[in-house]
Structure 1
Amino acid sequence: MTEHKPGGDLTLGGQRVHERLTREEPDLVARVLARIQAEVADYRRLPVEELAGDIARITQQTVRAFARCLREDRDLNAAELRQIGASAVRRAEEGFPLEAVLAAYHVGTREIFAVGSADAGSADVADLLEVADRTLAFVGTVTGAVTRGYLEELRTKIGQEHTARRTLLSVLADGGPVDAVARSAGIALPARYLVLSVELGPHADEATPGIDADIAIRRKLRRFLAAFEHSCGDGVLASLDGPGGLVLLPLAGRLSAVPEWGSLLGTAGRAAGVDVLAAADTAAPSEVREVAGRTGEVLDVLRWFGRPPGLYRLDDVLVEYQLTRPGEARDRLAAVLAPLDAHPELVETLSTYLELDTNRRRTAARLHVHPNTVDYRLRRVRDLTDIDPLHPAGLPRIIAALAARRASLPR
C-alpha cells in the first residue's frame, strides 16, 4: 500500500510544486489570462477593464488557492469556495455564459498544472501522478462551486423577473397603476398589445398510458409560449393552464399586420403539437382589462357554436356574439331545447349533426349508429321542439338555440 505524501512535500524537478506556483504567480496569472482569451471566445468580448480587473483578480485568487491547498494538504475551504462562487454570481448577473466560465476554469487549471510540472523528470512519476490527481480534484470542486453560484443567481433572477411579469400581467388584466408597476419592474410597456384568449386542445401524450399527463401539459404550454417568445422577445406576458388562458404580445413589427396573427398562432400550435382556438383584439395597456374580457367572451361564443380551430375576431362572429348575450331573449331561445333535457342521445345527435355540416352519414359514423337512427332522432328533435333540423329553414334557429343552451349551462 502506498503511503500518503503530504501536498506540501510534492516535488517536481527538484522543487516543491506549491513553492514554484507561488514564485511564478505573476507570470502564471498573465499566462492563464492569455490562454483563456485565446481558447474561450466569449472572454475576447469582455471589456479590457473587466479582464484586467475582476477576471485577473479571481484568476490570481484561484492560483493562490491551489498553491495553499497543496502546501496545507487540504481541499478548498468554505471561504475560498465562497470567493469562487461570488465571482460566478457576477458573471450570471452580467448574462455571461456558464459554459464559458467553466471552460475558463478548466483552461486555467491546465495552465497551472503545466507550470507546476514543467521540470518534472523520470524520477518524479509518483509525485507527478499525485499532483495530477489533486489538480483534477481541485477543478472538480471549483466546477461545483461555480455552477452552484451561477445557477443560484440565475434562479433568483428568473424568479424575480417571473414575479414582476406576473404582477404586471395581473395589473393589466385586473386594472390598476400599470405605468407605476412597469417602472418598478423595469419593464418597458409597448404602445399596444395583441390580446389573445386561447383554448389549447389536448396533446396526444396527455392520454397515453405510462406518460405523466402533468408533464405532458407543462411541455405543451412551454413549447406554445416559446414560439411566441421566439417571435416577440421577452415582452410576452401569459397566464396559461392546461386548457388555455390569456396571452399578451407586444404589437410591433410584422405583428402589426392582421394576417400575421393567425400565422403566428398556427406556428405556436404546431410547436405545441395541438389545435388552438383563439379570440384576438388589440389594446393599449390601459385597455387590456376591457379587451381581455371581450376576447374571453368571443372565445366562449366560438366554443358554443363549435367553430373549428383558428384565430377569430369579434367581427367574425358578430351575429353569434349578439345572439348569446345574457338576457330574456337568450333564456327563451335556450328554453326551446328544454324538452331535450330528458333525452341526452338527442342532444348528442343534434350537436354532432350540426358540427359535421348536417351530413347524416358522417354523423352516424361518428356516433356508431345506423343512418336511419340519426334520421329518427332528428325527427324526434323536430317533434319535441317544433323546429326541423332536417329542413334548411330550421337550421338558423336550431343552431342559435343550441348555442344559447350551451351559453346558459353552468361552467
Structure 2
Amino acid sequence: MEHDVPRLARAVIVEYLGPRASDATVPELLRTTAPHTVRHFMRLFLRAAAQGREIASEDLILLDERARERAAEGIQFDQMLTAHQAMAAVLLADFQQRFRGDAAELGAFAALLQQAAGRAMAVSLRAFQEAAQAAVTEDPELLDELAEDLISGRPAVARAAVQGIRLPRDFTALALFVDQDTDERAATPGYRTAASNRKNRRVRAALAAELPHPLLATDQGAYVLVLAPGTVDRQQLHRIQGRISRAALAPVRLGAARAEDHGAVPAAARTAVEIVRTAAAFDLPDQVLELADVAVPWQLSRDTPAARLLTERFAPVLRNQDLAATLTAFVQNDFDRRRTAQAQAVHPNTVDNRLHRAARLCGADLTTSAGLLALAVALAHHRRTDAQPSSAQVFRDPA
C-alpha cells in the first residue's frame, strides 16, 4: 500500500475539505503542508503495520509540530480531529478494498490502525493544548515589550519581576529574515496582510516549541528578533532555522550573536541583523550564520568615510552594467581572468578590455594589490548598500 500513499493522501484532503477541495482559494498549508503531514503519518503507520508493531509516540514529532502551529493560527481542535478521522477512514477503506485474507488479519490491521490513530490524536491534542495554554497564560504584548526594552538598552529586570518573569543573565540574539510564502505572493493587497499574519503566527509557534518560555521576540522591520536564553549551539541554530522554515513554508535566513549580559544585548541584536544583511548582499548560500561566517565581506563592506570615498571613485564603473558585472566576477573568481571569462560567458580578451576600461574610468591600477583591494572594498560597499534595510533602519531609537 505504501506506493499508493500520495493517492491516499489526496483522498484524505478531499474527504476533509469536501466541496472546497477544488477551490483555488484554499490556503497553501492545505495544499502542501497538510498533504505532507498526512503522507508522513501514513508511511509511518504502514511500515509499522508491516512489522506487526504499534507506532511509538516519539515517531509522531511532526504531528506535534503541526498541532502547535494550528493552535497558534487559532484553528479549533475539532478541525484537526476531523482530519485525523479522515486519515483513518481512508486507510481502512483502501485496505478493505484490496484485502484477500481472513477476518483475523483484517481485525489485526484495524486494531493497529485504531491504536495509531488514537496515539496520533493524543499527541496532537497534548501539543495543541500546551500551545493554547501558553498563549493564554503569557501576555504576548508584555513579552514583546520586554524584548524591545532589552534590545533598545532599557532596563527590563524590574518590570519582568513584577509580572513573575525571571530574565536570564545572558542571551543569544537571533535575527530571522523570513521570506514571503506562496499565499502572500499570490494574495491580493487586501488579503496579503491576513496571509502574512497567519505565517507570523506559525513562526511564533515554531519558536515557542524550540525555545524555553517565556518567548522574548519582537518584529523589527524586515526581521524577527529573538532573545534565546544562554548559549545556543550551532546544531540547535540549524534545528531552529529548519523548523521555522517548515512552519513558514518559506526560506528563512538566521543570524546569531552572543550577549554575555543585558548590557550587551543591543549590540548583539544589531550584529545578528547585520550578519543576515551581509549574507543576503553577498548571496552567501548558508542559511544559519554567525559573525565568523561573514567576517571578510562584513569587514570589506563597513560604512566608513574611506569606503564611501572609494565607492564614489568607482561610481562610473558601477553605473555600467557590463563593467560592474565583470569586475564583480573578477573579484569572486580570485582575480583570475580566464575563470572570470567563463563565468561571464565571454572571451578572456573581453575581460582584459573591460578591466582596462574600468581602470581608465576610475583611475585605479587593477594590476596592483592596492588597486584590487580598493576595487574589492568599493564593490562590497556598493552591494551592501543595495541590500535589505540596515540595522539603523530596523531598530527603533530608545525612548
Please, what TM-score do these two structures have when normalized by structure 2? 0.51
Answer yes or no: is the 8 Å Cα contact 1:190–1:250 preserved in 2. yes
User: How far is the alpha carbon of 1:244 from its aligned partner?
Assistant: 2.0
Q: Is the 8 A contact 1:178 1:286 kept in 2?
A: no
Within 5 A, what are the aligned runs for 1:4-403? 158=136, 161-208=139-186, 212-240=191-219, 243-251=222-230, 255=232, 257-283=233-259, 284-344=261-321, 346-347=323-324, 381=358, 384-385=361-362, 397-403=374-380
Task: Give the 3 Å change call, closer, same or farther, for CA 264–378 of structure 1 in structure 2.
Answer: farther
Task: Return closer, same or farther for 1:197/1:327 CA change in 2, 3 Å cut-off.
Answer: same
CA distance 1:389–1:309, shift in 2 (3 Å): farther
Q: Deviations over 1:11-38 (max 9, x none)?
A: xxxxxxxxxxxxxxxxxxxxxxxxxxxx
Larger radius of gyration: 1
Query: For 2:182 and 2:341, how far apart are their aligned partners in 1?
Result: 28
Q: Which runs of 5 or more structure 1 residues have no equivalent in the other structure?
A: 1-97, 101-153, 365-369
d(CA) in 2 for partners of 1:406 and 1:99? 48
CA spacing shift, 1:350–1:315, aligned 2, 3 Å: same
Partner Cα distance (1:347, 1:175) in 2: 41
- In the TM superposition, what is the alpha-carbon distance from 1:172 to its structure 2 partner? 0.5
Could you say if the C-alpha distance between residues 339 and 323 of structure 1 is closer, same or farther in structure 2, counting changes exceeding 3 Å? same
In structure 1, what is the equivalent of residue 109 of structure 2?
none
User: C-alpha offsets along residues 247-298 of structure 1, whole Å, 9 cap, x if unaligned?
Assistant: 112237xx4x333223322322232122222321122333212211222333
Q: Provide closer, same or farther for how the CA distance between residues 248 and 355 of structure 1 changes in structure 2, counting only shifts above 3 A.
A: farther
**Mean Cα displacement is larger for which, 211-220 or 349-358?**
349-358
Change (3 A) 1:195 1:164: same
Structure 2 residue ranges without an equivalent (≥5): 1-75, 79-131, 391-399
2:329–2:340 Cα contact (<8 Å) kept: no
Shift of 1:161: 0.5
Q: Which has the higher contact order (CA 8 A, sep 6+)?
A: 2
Match of 1:82 in 2: none
**Number of equivalences:** 252
CA gap 1:332/1:242 in 2 versus in 1, 3 angstroms: closer
**Identity score, percent:** 27
Structure 1, residues 139-163: CA drift from partner, whole Å, max 9, x if none? xxxxxxxxxxxxxxx99x8597122
**For the Cα contact (< 8 Å) 2:364–2:371, is it kept in 1?**
yes
State the distance in 2 between where 1:267 and 1:172 align: 25
Pick closer, same or farther for the CA change 1:347–1:214 going to 2, 3 Å: farther
Report the Cα distance in structure 2 between the residues aligned to 1:220 and 1:191, rounded to whole angstroms.
31
* C-alpha distance 360-260 of structure 1, shift in aligned 2 (>3 A): farther
Q: 1:176 to 1:298 in 2, by over 3 A?
A: same
Q: CA deviation at 1:236?
A: 2.0
Task: Supply the distance in 1 between the matched residues of 2:333 and 2:194 (Cα, whole angstroms).
Answer: 33
Equivalent residues of 1:356, 1:363 under 8 A apart? no
SS in 2 for 1:173: helix
Shift of 1:227: 1.7
Kindly state the Cα deviation for residue 338 of structure 1 after the two structures are TM-superposed: 0.9
- Describe the shift of the 1:361–1:240 C-alpha distance in structure 2 as closer, same or farther (beyond 3 A): farther
Q: Using the alignment, how far apart are the partners of 1:388 and 1:228 within structure 2?
A: 51
Shift, 1:182, TM fit: 1.0
Deviation of 1:242 (Å): 7.4
Deviation at residue 385 of structure 1 after TM alignment: 4.0
Which amino acid counterpart does residue 261 of structure 1 have in structure 2?
Answer: L
Change (3 A) 1:170 1:210: closer
Which residue type is aligned with residue 183 of structure 1? A
Q: Provide closer, same or farther for how the CA distance between residues 99 and 223 of structure 1 changes in structure 2, counting only shifts above 3 A.
A: closer
Conserved? CA contact 1:198–1:244, under 8 Å: yes
Instruction: Name which of structure 1's ranges 390-399 and 175-184 shifts more when overlaid on structure 2.
Output: 390-399
